A and B are shown apart, each in its own frame.
Chain A
Amino acid sequence: MGSKKQRTLEGSASDISFRSAFILGNVITKLSAIIFGLGNLLHKQIIRGLLYFSIEVAYIYYMVTFGVTSLKNLITLGTVSQVEVFNEELQIYEYITGDNSMLCLLYGVLTIFITLVFIFALTGSVKSAYDSQRRKELGKKVLTFREDIRSLKQENLHKAMLFTPMVGIISFTIIPLLFMILIAFTNYDKNHQPPGNLFDWVGLANFKALLLENSMLSNTFWPILRWTFIWAIFATFSCYILGIILAVVINREGTRFKGFWRFTFVLSIAMPQFVSLLTMRTIFNANGPMNSLLRTLGVIGMTESVPFLTDPILAKITIILVNIWIGVPFTLLTTTGILQNIPRDVYDAAKVDGANSIRIFFNITMPYILFITTPNLITTFTGNINNFNVIYLLSGGGPDSLDYYSAGKTDLLVTWLYRLTITDKDYNLGSVIGILVFIILATLSLITYRRSKSFKEEEAFQ
């Protein structure tokens, strides 16, 4: 089977858009938008038709019993607050449960998604009805259910293969994300915790408090944003430049034991990051090995200690230095692979022309590495803006500052987000920060990624 059938099927009505299917379709096709599966049922595609019809029935049942209320609740986010009532008989206070705003929001989001599925089924029903109609008009055989199933291995393989991953992504990434984005527009903070209290929509108030007003929040946000950028720039370029230098030095002709050096440096990648970072934290502790080494060497007095992670400025420097320890091996690993791919004859030709090793590096090696690693450099930069591990494990964001709203001097936006949501339960502020981080990253990527060659020439190497 296969190739012949595929040719006749491709370009058939199944590719048509919902609009044109609805406009071009006959009465039955149009009616399929109201009674799902009608077109299929009339064309004797019983199972397919029943499937569409049952989706419609299930949706209507859901909406009548639950969906409409939950949409209403999504708008109000609950009206009845939990109250304490004195029970005369038992002589105790009892709680009468009110509405739970959090559940209202969650069920509202779920209902919206179920509605989207319903709309998707609606377009599917019309398209499928039109497809059968066309086949009949052209005198072709209408597909049986068995053939539908078989098509999942052929022209509809993408649907079969994407189904489960998509369900996973929608339920564990998209719905939660949407839920959190909506929370940014509410006052769901530590003073409005369900089930005890209701929270409500507040529009853009959280964004205003964070960005515009001269409050403690905005006095925290802007310095943290600045440090996030300084950190990302230093962390990215220090590792990048030093890593390339190290790779080139190891790869140069005169260096012996190349494999040994690479192994030594790359070993640190293999260690789980929370182990290596917690070790670093111990080493730079006030009474840790680093300070006692300095004491023994007489650099500082016997009772003094260098505040590696407790002084605001010094902590930032220490973090960047430790990050070099973490990051350089990654650059080394990738650059080594690239270096070994540079054709030898290019070097030989350059040597014949009398170029010395420094000129070769700047005129051949460096442009080649830059060309290949630039897109990777962008992802590293965005990764560093979101670099939770290094800050959280090394300094925990500290030293804490009284000028800041629940943040420390070395907190990045993401670690602040973590603190606000996990420790403080200020979910609304947390998700505002998440959205702002998204806007920053999206802008950066749009500027750079769209321009990069690998995006434009995606298929150049197939």
Chain B
Amino acid sequence: MRTRSLRSFISNWVVHIILSILAVIWVIPIAFVILTSLRAEGGSYKSYIFPRGYTLDNYKNLFLSTGSLDFPRWFVNTLIVSICTCVLSAFFVLCVSYVMSRLKFKARKKLMSVSLVLGMFPGFMSMIAVYYILKGFGLLDTGALKLLALIMVYSGGAGLGFYIAKGFFDTIPKSIDEAAYIDGATKWDVFWRITIPLSKSIIVYTLLTSFMGPWVDYIFARVILGADKVYYTVGIGLWSMLEKEFIEYYYTQFFAGCVVISIPIVILFLRTQKYYVEGVSGAVKG
């Protein structure tokens, strides 16, 4: 008995030491971002991690700065785009996933297969075509319209990402629906008055994931917004701080900006990771 407890004592120590080392490795890059955002001395790459001096000026300059790199303006742009996007795409996703989960009609299997096939093309393969279509309809003529175009691009195809929400709707017992039908409810009533109130978690999840999209996208934003810096979103705006002509001055501000947009995302993520896990393992429950 004693050798056994000694063995588990040693193995516990070993496990904790290894975990600590790994944890440090996983935290270092995050710490690097935060430390650099607080760095007092300017310039880009430094060969050391811990700054020589600390300051909050980077954050202050970020929000007070005007001129060509106008972070506050980008922030507002992104906020508008992401609010519109998240409402629209959540609407699309919920509609499609409910239909695919509950309503039986002839073309259902066919539509599911088509959506699977569409998902296999590289996402930005059609980017150029989208760009020309938007241009053809005159949606890229002024900056404000470009933001509208961006909203349409982000939410347009959202209906295809219905798998996680469908997995959720699949888990709501059908007997609830049937009870409502017996009471004379229409299918719409069941969706609107019964399923939706039961699905708060998946609605929140869908809203949040589509809200986050515009904050971290830099591919579509770059193609659609082009060189129009005033109408940039945060993702591509921060990216432009790393361009050769700006990097020496804006490097630390770039990291401050990263921290600013990361904080809400971290909070949202930690609060919603439950749904993420359920989505991944729930859709394929064995």
Contact = CB atoms under 8 A, between A and B. Distances in A.
B170 A255 contact: no
B156 A158 contact: no
B33 interface: yes
A106 B99 CA distance: 32
A161 B216 contact: no
Given A165-B95, A274-B239, A267 B26 contact: yes
Given A255-B19, A461-B171, A272 B186 contact: no
How many chain A residues sit at the interface, stated as a range, is 35 or more
B156 A169 contact: yes
A176 B129 contact: yes
Choose among A173, A268, A454 the residue with the greatest number of B CB atoms under 10 Å from its CB. Answer: A173
Nearest to A102: B132
Contacts of B121: 177, 434, 437-438
Interface in A431-462: 431, 434, 437-438, 441-442, 445, 449, 452-454, 458-459, 461-462
Contacts of A285: 45
B244 interface: no
Interface in B127-178: 127-130, 132-133, 136, 152-153, 155-160, 170-171, 173-174
Contacts of B182: 3
Given A157-B187, A158-B103, A437-B121, A254 B26 contact: no
A373 B223 CA distance: 36
Given A3-B182, A161-B99, A386-B123, A168 B92 contact: yes
Contacts of A165: 92-93, 95-96, 158-159
Contacts, number: 267
Interface string A284-296: 0101110110000
Do most interface residues of chain B lie in helix, strand or loop, or is the interface mixed?
helix
Contacts of A180: 125-126, 128-129
B30 A292 contact: no
Choose among B15, B47, B127, B261 the residue with the greatest number of A CB atoms under 10 Å from its CB. Answer: B47
Interface residues of B, number: 97
Contacts of B98: 161
Contacts of B157: 168-169, 172-173
Interface string A395-415: 000000000000000000110
Nearest to B109: A458
Interface of A: 1-3, 15, 102-103, 106, 152-155, 157-158, 160-162, 164-166, 168-169, 171-177, 179-180, 183, 246, 249-250, 252, 254-256, 261, 263-276, 278-280, 282-283, 285, 287-289, 291-292, 325, 329, 333-334, 336-338, 341, 371-373, 375-376, 382, 386, 388, 413-414, 417-418, 421-422, 427, 430-431, 434, 437-438, 441-442, 445, 449, 452-454, 458-459, 461-462
Given A169-B159, A276-B29, 9 more contacts: A2-B181, A153-B188, A157-B187, A162-B95, A169-B160, A171-B133, A291-B47, A441-B120, A449-B116
